[in-house]
């Protein structure tokens, strides 16, 4: 029975704890033992938090026995991307430059999930400083992709996705600055939620680009993502009951999201759109000028902020940084301040234009990634290939970040192919409800 726990959703595990069928202590031990035994465990987790997990699980067991559970995820294990501070335990953001960095306090989101009763299993591997969508990290570790042992898993929340996909955590918490939750979720057939910037606190999270950094869950189901969001913001979960696609107005975003798209992502996406249509959604297709122009501003908007955040540390020992990551950081040093400010002013106008153009739709739909997970060995050997694949990988997801939206990716049923739904800022509850209906439609196929 305990082996089955590793395949269950976080919500189902929580219900089992509430019913008295699952002991939180046995549940934590099951996952921790699985991590230790798994041949890729050390490539997924940078470190486990066994002592903390046992203490938290014992407390959850006591609450369950007393009928005092704090919520639906009380006693459910969670993995944390290694950029969220955990008191007294190293948080290194996938970088040799931060090796041995031990914070004194939990990140605010870690503290919130702890108050909700979740059990912290450990810290998962990630791309250096979260600055790549591929998940390749020769400095610490490159976690596996669930669908291809030779491919990268997507990043930067690479270990977060792998921890759930390989049954080593029921739910994971990652971060998304340009796609870092949604890409690994899509490539490992998971649900990934990018929250609106500012909805969840970043206190105690190692930054990359603070004007874009967001926190979000990676999970097996929309319900799990909804419960994780509720715990992260210490609020009520959205009501997903009776969610229906009938009459939902969906805009398939044409143009840039389909440029250079590969065959499998194109076919998987179109099959998914057909399933949504069959479930009663009203499908419209059109490009949007605001999207095309926003994408053209990506380099000047992102790279100076990332460079300004880490330039001093990077230049103390640049040889410790994977060359393509260092190059990407350094690309931000040559932009003029006036051009950066002008780009942000224009982006603000484009955000307003996008919201006006999409006001008549319930959600905008697009392929999560236009490519499949690339081969890890080739990425290591071919610098140009790394650069082009990384930019292509993040292009579609970056739309949601640039335009300040909330977004969610769902598995399409085609391995490593996701379909994304985007909504205006702070509309996560509406997004999750629509996604729950879409999830049912996609499973029916």
Using only C-alpha atoms, what is the Rg of the chain? 20
The enclosing H or E element of 363 equals strand 363-367
d(Cα 80, Cα 139) in Å, to the nearest integer? 19
95, 175, 180, 420: the catalytic one is: 180
d(Cα 14, Cα 135) in Å, to the nearest integer? 30
Active site residue 9: no
79, 93, 95, 156: the catalytic one is: 156
d(Cα 346, Cα 341) in Å, to the nearest integer? 9
Tell me the longest C-alpha to C-alpha distance in the chain. Answer: 61
From the list 157, 76, 81, 74, the residue with the least C-alpha distance to 122 is: 81
**In 3-state terms, what secondary structure has residue 119?**
strand
Q: Which residue has the tokens 């006036």?
A: 338
Active site residue 81: yes
DSSP string spanning 282-326? EEEEE--HHHHHHHHTHHHHHHHHHHHHHHHHHTTSGGGS-HHHH
Strand partners, 120: 78
9, 79, 81, 416: the catalytic one is: 81
Question: With b meaning 16 or more CB within 10 Å and e meaning fewer, what string describes 14-50?
Answer: bebbbeeebbbbebbbbbbebbeebebbebbbbbbbb
What phi and psi values does residue 288 have, to the nearest 5 degrees?
Answer: -130, 125
Active site residue 156: yes
Active site residues: 81, 156, 180
């Amino acid at each position: 029975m305990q082996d089955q726990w590793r395949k269950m959703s976080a919500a189902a595990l929580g219900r089992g704890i509430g019913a008295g069928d699952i002991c939180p202590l046995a549940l934590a031990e099951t996952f921790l033992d699985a991590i230790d035994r798994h041949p890729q465990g050390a490539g997924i987790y940078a470190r486990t938090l066994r002592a903390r997990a046992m203490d938290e699980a014992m407390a959850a067991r006591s609450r369950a026995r007393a009928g005092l559970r704090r919520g639906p995820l009380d006693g459910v294990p969670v993995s944390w991307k290694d950029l969220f501070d955990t008191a007294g335990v190293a948080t290194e953001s996938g970088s040799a430059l931060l090796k041995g960095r031990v914070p004194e306090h939990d990140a605010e989101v870690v503290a919130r999930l702890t108050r909700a009763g979740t059990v912290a299993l450990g810290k998962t591997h990630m791309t250096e400083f979260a600055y790549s969508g591929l998940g390749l990290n020769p400095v610490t570790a490159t976690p596996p992709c669930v669908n291809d042992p030779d491919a990268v898993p997507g990043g930067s929340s690479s270990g977060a996705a792998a921890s759930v996909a390989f049954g080593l955590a029921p739910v994971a918490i990652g971060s998304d600055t340009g796609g870092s939750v949604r890409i690994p979720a899509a490539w490992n057939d998971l649900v990934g939620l990018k929250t609106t910037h500012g909805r969840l606190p970043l206190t105690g999270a190692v930054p990359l680009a603070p004007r874009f950094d967001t926190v979000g869950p990676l999970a097996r189901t929309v319900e799990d993502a909804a419960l994780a969001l509720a715990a992260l913001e210490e609020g009520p979960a959205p009501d997903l009951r009776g969610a229906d696609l009938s009459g939902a107005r969906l805009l398939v975003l044409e143009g840039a999201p389909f440029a250079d798209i590969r065959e499998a992502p194109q076919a998987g996406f179109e099959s998914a759109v057909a399933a949504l249509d069959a479930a009663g959604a009203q499908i419209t297709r059109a490009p949007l000028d605001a999207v095309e122009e926003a994408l053209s501003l990506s380099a000047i908007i992102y790279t100076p902020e990332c460079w300004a955040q880490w330039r001093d540390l990077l230049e103390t020992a640049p040889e410790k940084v994977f060359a393509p990551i260092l190059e990407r950081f350094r690309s931000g040093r040559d932009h003029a301040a006036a051009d950066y400010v002008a780009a942000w002013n224009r982006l603000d106008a484009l955000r307003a234009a996008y919201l006006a153009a999409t006001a008549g739709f319930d959600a905008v739909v697009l392929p999560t990634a236009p490519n499949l997970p690339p081969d890890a060995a080739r990425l290591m050997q071919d610098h140009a290939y790394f650069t082009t694949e990384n930019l292509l990988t993040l292009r579609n997801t970056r739309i949601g970040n640039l335009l300040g939206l909330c977004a969610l990716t769902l598995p399409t049923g085609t391995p490593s192919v996701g379909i994304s739904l985007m909504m205006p800022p702070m509309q996560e509850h509406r997004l999750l409800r629509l996604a729950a209906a879409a999830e049912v439609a996609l499973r029916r196929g």
